[in-house]
Amino acid sequence: MTPNVLPWLWPVLFYLIGSIPTGYLLGRSRGIDIRQHGSGNIGATNVGRVMGRNWGFFAFGCDFLKGFLPLYLLRSFAFPENGAWTVSLLLVLCGMAVILGHNYTPWLGFKGGKGIATSAGMLGALLPWVLVVALSLWIIAVLTCRIVSIASLLASASLPLATAWFYPQQWVYFGLATLAATLATWRHRSNIQRLLAGTEPRLGSSSSKKKQRMNIIILGHGAWGRAIGQVTERLGHRVTFVSHSDKQWPPTKPDYILLALPVQHVRETLEHFSPPGVPVLSLSKGLEIASGQRVSQIITEVWGESRVAALSGPTFASEIAAGLPATCTIAAQSDDLAKEFQAILHQPSFRTYRTSDLIGVELGGALKNIYAIAGGNLPRAQAWTKFARRLDHPLLVRNDTHWCPCGRKSRDVRRIKRAG
């Protein structure tokens, strides 16, 4: 089969090549799901942030080759001397296909990287001088401000201008450069939001939210709230405890509120305080008897706050306070919000996982203690084991929601202990 017979099959093939999630596969080779760490992106920047600089360079090289090698071979051997615009159009379609495959890989639910390394490879094969300009700007920007997203956005913005300068009247290539720049900017919209908020991390600095010293208020003085307070303090955050008997907030504005109150007193306590206007993480487990509402619903109703998440897991306050290995799930409808709370809690002895199933985690948290009490009353350990296995069934929650009070914790605790 030659390209002239069915040319539309070439872009499909290039899309499949681009869809290989190299960053994710590299993480899996080291037992890490890269989507659960750092920014959650599978690109080279996040791989380097989570796994180390050498792994980041290796991931960049793999993504670069995805864009460069197939296009270079196609252009060199299939169309060595043909300069027709139809050939240029086919090459452009293949170039865009490999970028789209990287950005929207079907193997990970159409969630991929941001396409910078793959776009660089594509430019190296089709528009090498444009790559030289973009790469030079990227290096200068990184050395100047040490923020990778700014460097990537500047390099992307230069693509149409450099193409118009070095390849005049090549409207097909100009269109490719414009589309690539637009797509790269769109994929960096979350970075743009963090840049505007002043929270975008720099290379080699401690300015990321995970390393900033945040002001955290824990509403509730129980053992569970104090234990989570110790978890956040281990990461250097400032923690202030507020009791339900207090009538106003401390003078220092918090960055986050962690709610650790008995569920039946949540509504009454919240009504005593003015809305804080910051994200809230619910540590409370259960449903309000009078209304049947979940805690997140009560928070939204009383305070009008939509940035609400919930934390739940097979944990004991005394174990967490003692620094023993534990694992929990953070649920929020916004993955960015879940990442924020993960950044102020996650550490080697307290692993946190993210999910968007807020309802499932809250219901699982309300039910797990009931199951634990029932299982504890079974007469024999063998009966308890059978009962615990039954809890793996995703009752009332999505299949990917991990609220089971047995299996996941035991696996993670063993892994933490082996890691030292």
- Spatial neighbors of 249 by CB under 8 A, at least 6 apart, are 217, 242, 273, 274, 276
pLDDT at site 14:
94
pLDDT at site 81:
61
Told to judge if 209 belongs to the known catalytic residues of this protein, a careful annotator would answer no
Question: pTM of the full predicted structure?
Answer: 0.51
pLDDT at site 49:
74
Q: Please report where in the chains the tokens 């293949």 appear, as a residue.
A: 94
Give the start-to-end residue ranges of the domains of the chain. 9-197, 215-418
Of 156, 146, 83, nearest to 122 by C-alpha is 156
Catalytic residue among 66, 285, 339, 368: 368
CATH of domain 215-418: 3.40.50.720
pLDDT at site 58:
93
Alpha-carbon torsion 163, 165, 167, 168, what sign?
positive
pLDDT one digit per residue (tens) for the chain, 420 residues: 444 556 668 899 999 999 999 999 998 887 778 887 767 789 888 888 777 788 889 999 999 999 999 999 988 887 766 567 788 888 889 989 999 999 999 999 998 888 889 989 999 999 999 999 999 999 999 898 888 889 989 999 999 999 999 988 888 889 889 998 998 899 888 888 888 877 777 775 544 444 578 899 999 988 999 999 999 998 889 999 998 888 789 988 899 999 999 999 999 999 999 999 999 999 998 899 999 999 999 999 999 988 999 999 878 888 888 888 888 999 998 888 898 999 999 988 898 999 888 998 999 888 876 766 666 565 544 555 555 554 443 333 344 443 343 334 444 444 444 444
Question: How many other β-carbons are positioned within 10 Å of the β-carbon of residue 77?
Answer: 8
pLDDT at site 369:
66
Of 188, 362, 198, 372, nearest to 287 by C-alpha is 362
pLDDT at site 400:
44
pLDDT at site 410:
41
Pairwise CA distance, residues 128 & 122, whole Å: 9
pLDDT at site 198:
75
Of 320, 326, 321, 333, nearest to 359 by C-alpha is 333
Pairwise CA distance, residues 282 & 415, whole Å: 27
